[in-house]
Chain A
Amino acid sequence: MIENALPDDPTPPVLLTTPLDAWHRAHGARMVGFAGYAMPVQYDLAGALAARCRGGVMAEHLHCRAQAALFDVSHMGQATLTGATAAALLESLVPGDIIGLKPGRQRYTLLTNEAGGILDDLMVATLEPGKFFLVVNASRKDDDFTHIAASLPAGASLTPHPERALLALQGPQAQAVLARLCPAAAALPFMGVASALVRGIPCLLSRSGYTGEDGFEISVPAERAEDLATLLVEQPEVVPAGLGARDSLRLEAGLCLYGNDIDELTSPVEAGLTWVIGKRRKLAWDFPGGVAIRDQLDNGAPRLRVGIRPDGRAPARAGTTIAATDGTEAGVITSGGFGPSLNAPIAMGYVRRDLAADGTKLSLLVRGKELPATVAALPFVPHHYVR
């Protein structure tokens, strides 16, 4: 047993490290490879932090929902795009309204391909007219930056920021914590972006996250990342949390993981992400895959992303086959696990459109057995964004 929990190969490939690598190890992190980086999956906390939270995926998850948790997401790709034509360039690559994105505002959007598939999901912030800050997935950053750079018109430039770290402070106490260290933070609205000093550390704050809770993503120069992380976990509400809790939090929040729930073979219509298409963009459909996506909206997608609640206690993992109650093939689970806040297994997956209504009964084929399950509304846990 335990073959999944212990590495088969004692000499894993060389992993990249984030600026917080030593900090994680000093805080009891169990490091795993993720998207080519050594990342903390969970912590064995000690000292004052252990008094707040016993550590481990479950406890870190619950601490984030109850108070606040600090995540290192420095593996993600950060970049600045500048130039008078930068907004128009981005609109040639994504379905979102970028020209209408005001300075100090951020938007979730998608890089799409000509078939209407999703190349990546990303955040775009307007720092000032003609200057945009991008945050893309770690696993996709090289391809994304190549893709964007290939379309750069004269006078525009794309500058990746490997010299910056990215921290996420998430949870109902995130505002109280950050406002204590940076009074400007409290005034930042949901999806707002601002440069600010956090106890003298120059940061770019955005009020966003990947947990369904209120919170901030904080871009910081790599050489100040340890100072910032230490300052944040010195606050009595905060504990560090790893990728394990990050995954269970985002799954409860019904948020897509690129490579699992969305990829080049899924469309925004199937994924339930048509809200990212800007109103003005729906007049012209002049983004990659626009025509294909419009056709799918008009005619209905063959399959849709849904939330799924297994009826029993057994989690159903990504890759699990879904059948209809009449035995016909229904689809596949793309993310699945255990929801600590619900104390129950939860999953997301794609099912045939006729099976996508909330309450529809399904069968999950787990270890050769049919487990009954039910289509459920997303998110599983309500979002607590500050509006």
Chain B
Amino acid sequence: MADTDTRYTKDHEWIRLDGDIATIGITDHAQEALGDVVFVELPELQREVEAGEACAVVESVKAASDIYAPLAGKVVETNQVIVDEPALVNGDAMGEAWFFKLEIDDIEAFNALLDEAAYNEFLETL
């Protein structure tokens, strides 16, 4: 069944919305492409981020990659579990290994993100 409540970006992030709190992680495709994740750096709490702003880092054995805020908002929670255990990003990218939560102002911006069908279609083009 298609998950209509999860949105995606072409930067391979997923976003789930609960009220005005958006939870952000990286997609299964992203963790596959990265390979073994060995380090995660998360944004500071209360940081205000613009959409598209680099605000976290994920490093695999192969390379470092920035993670961009998919929406504007304020960082209200970060997942320290993946800082202590980066391999969880490979193990459960779409679930337990979320990166951070943003309090967002613009719900419409969330609705404008890719839905699962559109993201899968995008993956087909890669």
Give the number of residues in A that approach B within 8 Å (Cβ atoms).
25
List the A side residues contacting B12 at CB < 8 Å.
1-2
Instruction: Say yes or no for A147: interface residue by CB 8 A criterion.
Output: no
Our pick among B36, B39, B126 for the contact of A313 (Cβ within 8 Å) is: B39
Give the number of residues in B that approach A within 8 Å (Cβ atoms).
26
User: Do A315 and B38 have beta carbons less than 8 Å apart?
Assistant: yes
Our pick among B36, B65, B86, B126 for the contact of A3 (Cβ within 8 Å) is: B65
User: Do B11 and A2 have beta carbons less than 8 Å apart?
Assistant: yes
Instruction: Say yes or no for B33: interface residue by CB 8 A criterion.
Output: yes
List the A side residues contacting B65 at CB < 8 Å.
1-5
User: Do B58 and A1 have beta carbons less than 8 Å apart?
Assistant: yes
In the bound complex, what is the Cα–Cα distance between A314 and B64 (angstroms)? 10
Instruction: Say yes or no for A24: interface residue by CB 8 A criterion.
Output: no
Closest to B13 in A: A1
What mask results when residues 42 to 68 of chain B are scored 1 for a CB within 8 Å of chain A, else 0? 000000000000000111111111111
List the A side residues contacting B59 at CB < 8 Å.
314-315, 338
Whether A244 contacts B62 in the complex (CB less than 8 A), given A5-B33, A5-B34, A315-B38, comes out as yes
Instruction: Say yes or no for A372: interface residue by CB 8 A criterion.
Output: no
User: Do A338 and B38 have beta carbons less than 8 Å apart?
Assistant: yes
User: Do A314 and B63 have beta carbons less than 8 Å apart?
Assistant: no
Q: State which residues 302-361 of A face B: CB under 8 Å.
A: 313-315, 317, 337-338, 340, 345
Closest to A243 in B: B62
User: Do B61 and A338 have beta carbons less than 8 Å apart?
Assistant: yes
User: Do B33 and A57 have beta carbons less than 8 Å apart?
Assistant: no
User: Do B66 and A57 have beta carbons less than 8 Å apart?
Assistant: no
User: Do A345 and B39 have beta carbons less than 8 Å apart?
Assistant: yes
List the B side residues contacting A41 at CB < 8 Å.
62
User: Do B61 and A337 have beta carbons less than 8 Å apart?
Assistant: yes
Our pick among A61, A244, A313, A317 for the contact of B64 (Cβ within 8 Å) is: A317
Instruction: Say yes or no for B41: interface residue by CB 8 A criterion.
Output: yes
CB distance from B33 to the nearest CB of A (A): 4
Closest to A7 in B: B126
Chain A contact residues: helix, strand, loop or mixed:
loop
Closest to A57 in B: B61
Closest to B84 in A: A313
List the B side residues contacting A315 at CB < 8 Å.
38-39, 59, 64
Centre residue among B30, B60, B86 by max chain A CB count within 10 A: B60
Closest to B125 in A: A10
Centre residue among B12, B13, B36, B86 by max chain A CB count within 10 A: B36
In the bound complex, what is the Cα–Cα distance between A61 and B35 (angstroms)? 13
List the A side residues contacting B97 at CB < 8 Å.
none
What mask results when residues 242 to 277 of chain A are scored 1 for a CB within 8 Å of chain B, else 0? 001000100000000000000000000000000000
User: Do A58 and B58 have beta carbons less than 8 Å apart?
Assistant: no
Instruction: Say yes or no for B26: interface residue by CB 8 A criterion.
Output: yes
In the bound complex, what is the Cα–Cα distance between A61 and B11 (angstroms)? 29
Closest to B12 in A: A2
List the A side residues contacting B62 at CB < 8 Å.
4-5, 41, 57, 244
Contact surface of A with B, Cβ cutoff 8 Å: 1-6, 10, 41-42, 56-59, 61, 244, 248, 313-315, 317, 337-338, 340, 345, 367
Contact surface of B with A, Cβ cutoff 8 Å: 11-13, 26, 30, 33-36, 38-39, 41, 57-68, 86, 126
What 15 new A-B contacts, CB under 8 Å, besides A5-B62, A313-B86, A367-B41?
A: A1-B12, A1-B13, A1-B26, A4-B62, A5-B30, A5-B63, A6-B33, A41-B62, A56-B35, A56-B36, A57-B60, A244-B61, A314-B41, A338-B39, A340-B61
19 CB < 8 A contacts A-B:
A1-B13, A1-B26, A1-B66, A1-B67, A2-B26, A2-B65, A5-B34, A5-B35, A6-B33, A6-B126, A10-B126, A41-B62, A57-B36, A57-B60, A58-B38, A244-B62, A317-B64, A345-B38, A345-B39
